[in-house]
Structure 1
Amino acid sequence: MFSLNQFKQKSPQQRFLFILGLFMILIFLTIGIILVFFSDMLNLDQDKFPTKYRIAFAIVLVVYSAIRFGRIMNQKDT
């Protein structure tokens, strides 16, 4: 699991990539949540992006962000 000591021992490049990975997880999760709960504010055309496809895409984004989070937390230092 995540250990603060491992984070301190990483090189600057590894720390940057770790933070970038967390940032991308946050972006994917945010886009997924926005597509499900706040799509009315986006004024998406229902003919071009139907509701069932929009929700399916949002679920894929949320699941993908969970998979990325799991992979980052289970990373082993080599």
Structure 2
Amino acid sequence: MNFIEILKQKSPLQRFLFVLNLIFLILYVFMAVVLFVWKTMPVEIPYKSRVILGVILIIYAIIRFYRLSLKFKQIE
């Protein structure tokens, strides 16, 4: 089964929650990248603290991706 067929089999609420999980996963990775790359942030945070927060966000995104992939495999 491919991704589209599985999404068609889900209820509208399950589809919405799945898409919402994907959006937040992308948001966490985006926030981590912003913390790494943006040099002159409006809020003064030391670079070391930004790197630590960025790594924590990436680890959390990996955990969320793993949990989402387990749900995706249960449906198949």
Q: TM-score range by the shorter chain?
A: 0.7 to 0.9
RMSD: 1.7
Tell me which residue corresponds to 1:35: 35
Q: Structure 1 stretches (4+) deviating beyond 3 angstroms?
A: none
When you count helix as a share of all residues, which structure comes out higher?
A: 2
SS of residue matched to 1:19: helix
Unaligned runs of 5+ in 2: none
**Identity score, percent:** 31
TM-score scaled by length of structure 2:
0.82
Query: For residues 14-56 of structure 1, what are the alpha-carbon distances to aligned partners after superposition, in whole Å with 9 as ceiling and x for unaligned?
Result: 0000000000001110000000012x142442xxx22111100
Structure number with the bigger relative contact order (C-alpha 8 A, sep ≥ 6) is: 1
5+ residue gaps, structure 1: none
CA distance in 1 between partners of 2:42 and 2:29 (Å)? 20
The residue aligned with 1:16 is: 16
Q: TM-score, normalised by structure 1?
A: 0.80
Matches within 5 A, 1:36-55: 36-38=36-38, 40-45=39-44, 49-55=45-51
